[in-house]
Chains A and B, each alone.
Chain A
Amino acid sequence: MSLFWQCLVDSLLLGGLYSLMSIGLSLGFGVTRIINFAHGEMIMFGAYGAYFGSVLLGVDPLLSLPLVAILVAVTAAVVFKALIEKVLDAPHINQILLLFGISLALQNVAAILWTGDARSVSTPYSLTAFEFETLLVPHGRVIAFATAVVLIVALFCWLRFSELGRATRAVAENGQAATLMGINVSRMYMLSFGINAALGAATGAISAFLLTITPFMGFHMLIKAFAIVVLGGLGSVTGTILGAFALAFAETWVSYYVPEGNGWAEGVAFVVLLCVLIIRPKGILGQAVAVH
């Protein structure tokens, strides 16, 4: 019984982290129709930003999160303007190659700048937990979950109530119609890519005290985020959240209830993904994507 509640809590907390990790990728795809294969590196740069903020300036990762997110977003917007915008109408393979190239270059830049040493931030809350009899709720993961919820709610509010948010949704729905309505589509592409990067960097800032930071941490997270986005439905932000929690629950329950399950968890999660895609190829709440 104690494992049941523990499993439930762990699943929820992991789901929050997965949601934040993948929601930016989903938004970026929904608007630009480009899968940002350098998303993992946005997370990695966010993690290093929070790490150096903590080590060099003594700033808590949660406090450095907004600045780190803005810096990464601005840099990503510049990269978008300089490189990615040029392949928006190119075949998907060109886009994928370019973004993978950027991803590899960023990994190696990080390795050169900061070496391959594994790092992590130890804050007072990252090494403590609430205890309710046998139930353990780590402070760090609760804070990460709460941060994820705040950022996701902020994103939804922005998309729904702000002018730029509504324009972003309009572009996601129909780029040509949005252009006819006088929306600067190119600017919205850059903005959504920047937000994608900012959310990635925010995930990184949280990961700085939850996970291990290395220049190559992003690739693993990209694969997970990509699976979540596909599971939830490409381009659907709500679907992505559902996908994130579905994957987190599948992984955690397999880890708890299957012998040596932690090793199998990822495999089982991808089997779930496969099954969902067979039954519903668009994902849980996805939209159809034209094949060119």
Chain B
Amino acid sequence: MSSLIKTAAVTVALAGALVSTHAAAQNTIRIGAPLELSGRFVAYGAQGKRGVEMAVDVYGGKIGDKKIEVLFRDVQSNNQVAVTAFTELTQQEKVDFVIGPIASGIVAASVPAWRQSKPLWIVPGSSSTQLEEAMKGEPLFFHTYPWAYQYHEGTAKALAEAMGKGKKVAIVYSDGAYGREQLPWAKEFYTKNGFTVVATELVREGAADLNPVLQKIRLTRPDVLVGIVQTTDGIQLAKQIHVAKLNIPVLVGTAYPQLQEWSQATGEAADGWIGATTYLPGMKRAADPKLAKLFPSLTDWEADFKKRYNREPEFLDVTNYTSAMMLLVAIERAGSTDKDKVAKQLTTLNIQTMLGTSNFVPTPGGALHQAFNEMVVFQRVGEKFVALYPADAASGKLKLKQ
């Protein structure tokens, strides 16, 4: 008899706990955030976490009477861990909204896990066009970061306008997916804009000496050198180019020339490098007229960020803040946590954000929702950034390296 009472008591307690958990879940909007919080891409994950946390805080932590809960998971910059974290978030925690991860390889590894339950997925990273291909026609996939070809499209056009036709370009690319995937795009856009590709040189990721590659490039006397490598190799490349005195008038990177970590590590060798981005510190962008508290002017947002974190924001801070904030606004406008309704709202937000207008458009590669296609080509001049392209954003002219 007593065991029957015990069993009944345990059953009642468990049922109570389940009911209260269910009630808590009902009163909570849960967003999964699998991010690179340790491992080799920890810098990306740290920016992602800051951006998402700041967005939730600025939003007030609630949508209506429902608390916003972000379930951060550390994917450890590891493909297998990313799959496990993604699966846990969608299968066990049953989240319908996911932001992250960021690094191309980690995002690619997460795709099969995403396919199992297809939550609404915002990817504020990964420039890989393989992801674009894999997510072709997916209505719940939203990408808020440039694709690989967008880096080269704008830069080649900007340089052709500034330098004229008939110039020679040499390309250094890394032997990982990052370099190999971007090489054809770089070749295509530079050729299309009247450049002649005189050298393409492969470099090993993490190579201790790039001088052999640079000496071979010196013999081709290019006017432009494009370095399609990740940040760590970008540091090595910039320093060794500086030492080798290659006298190439224009040096072009991808995302890294705008990173503080890159410029601090390269020192004076960073001067004159060109890059492309959707966010440049000090850019002027107005606040959204209706949602100025959530999407203030870029200057005000940067000031708020510095006050909170005592550091300058990086472009992934802005990208993740904007992505998370857009999701929160869409959930509120949908009046529901139904992912299809929220997705519909996301596509019609039309907000002026710190990265430009939030319109999602289809891409040439078949992804349905791509935001922030307005790439700004810039040049590092001393400690400052000079916007070169497009004309309406330009704050100066191309300066050739001596």
Contact = CB atoms under 8 A, between A and B. Distances in A.
Interface of A: 3, 6-7, 10, 13-14, 17, 108, 111-112, 115-120, 122, 126-129, 131, 136, 138, 140, 210-214, 216-217, 220, 251-252, 255-256, 260-266
A122 B213 CA distance: 22
A127 to B, nearest CB: 5
A255 B266 contact: no
Most chain B C-beta atoms within 10 Å of own C-beta, residue among A10, A122, A262: A262
A129 B241 CA distance: 11
Given A138-B243, A140-B243, A211-B236, A116 B212 contact: no
A116 B267 contact: no
A182 to B, nearest CB: 44
Interface in B182-219: 200-204, 206-213, 215-216, 219
Most chain B C-beta atoms within 10 Å of own C-beta, residue among A122, A210, A255: A255
Contact of B245 (A136, A214, A217): A136
A263 B235 contact: no
Given A118-B261, A120-B235, A212-B235, A265 B204 contact: yes
In order of increasing CB-CB distance, the 10 nearest A-B pairs are A122-B267, A116-B42, A263-B202, A255-B212, A260-B202, A120-B265, A117-B261, A263-B175, A212-B235, A118-B232
Consensus secondary structure, chain B interface: helix
B40 interface: yes
Interface in B268-315: 268-269
B201 A252 contact: no
A14 B209 CA distance: 8
12 contacts: A111-B38, A116-B41, A122-B269, A129-B243, A136-B215, A136-B243, A136-B244, A216-B40, A217-B206, A255-B212, A260-B202, A262-B204
A128 B243 contact: yes
A112 B38 CA distance: 8
A128 B269 CA distance: 11
A122 B266 contact: yes
Given A118-B235, A118-B265, A119-B265, 14 more contacts: A3-B215, A10-B211, A111-B38, A115-B46, A116-B46, A118-B231, A119-B264, A120-B235, A127-B267, A212-B233, A252-B209, A252-B212, A260-B202, A262-B212
A140 B41 CA distance: 28
Contacts of B244: 129, 136, 138
Interface residues of B, number: 43
Contact of B210 (A108, A122, A262, A266): A262
B43 interface: yes
A136 B40 CA distance: 33
Contacts of A17: 208
A129 B239 CA distance: 12
Contacts of A211: 208, 236
Contact of A117 (B38, B43, B201, B267): B43
Given A127-B239, A127-B243, A211-B236, A111 B39 contact: yes
A256 B212 CA distance: 5
Contacts of A220: 206
Contacts of A217: 206
B94 to A, nearest CB: 30
Contacts of A210: 208
A109 to B, nearest CB: 11
A264 B207 CA distance: 11
Contacts of A260: 200-202
B157 interface: no
Contact of A262 (B39, B207, B266): B207
A211 B41 CA distance: 18
B245 A131 contact: yes
B262 interface: yes
Nearest to A118: B232
A164 B31 CA distance: 61
Contacts of B41: 116
B242 interface: yes
Contacts of B235: 118, 120, 212
Nearest to B230: A118
A17 B46 CA distance: 33
A88 to B, nearest CB: 31
Interface in B45-59: 46
